[in-house]
Amino acid sequence: MSIITHLLLAVALTLFLAAQARSFVYVMRCRRAHETARRRRRTDVLWTSIPVIIVLALAARSWVAVFDLGRPAAASAVTAPAPDPGAPPR
């Protein structure tokens, strides 16, 4: 994928993540306000947060691709040892 594609995807996912996080906070506040007799389980928070975690991972991956943080220039260049000037040719 090109840099522009990753940039557009990263921006779109970041905006979606912001809206999703705001909705997540709203859901958690509503759940606290409407406490019923049933006991809340820890898995309820997990299942509510899974979509946020997935979008966060995808957005982070896109931003890493935009800034090319996953592969530094020194690590991506193929280098061969320089020949020794005093060594006879092979």
Tell me the per-residue pLDDT of 74-84, one tens digit each, with 9 for 90 and over. Answer: 555 556 666 66
pLDDT confidence bin for 15, thresholds 50/70/90: very high
Compute the mean pLDDT over every residue in the chain, rounded to the nearest whole number. Answer: 78
Three-state SS sequence of 6-70: HHHHHHHHHHHHHHHHHHHHHHHHHHHHCCCCCCCCHHHHHHHHHHHHHHHHHHHHHHHHHHCCC
pTM flag (> 0.85): no
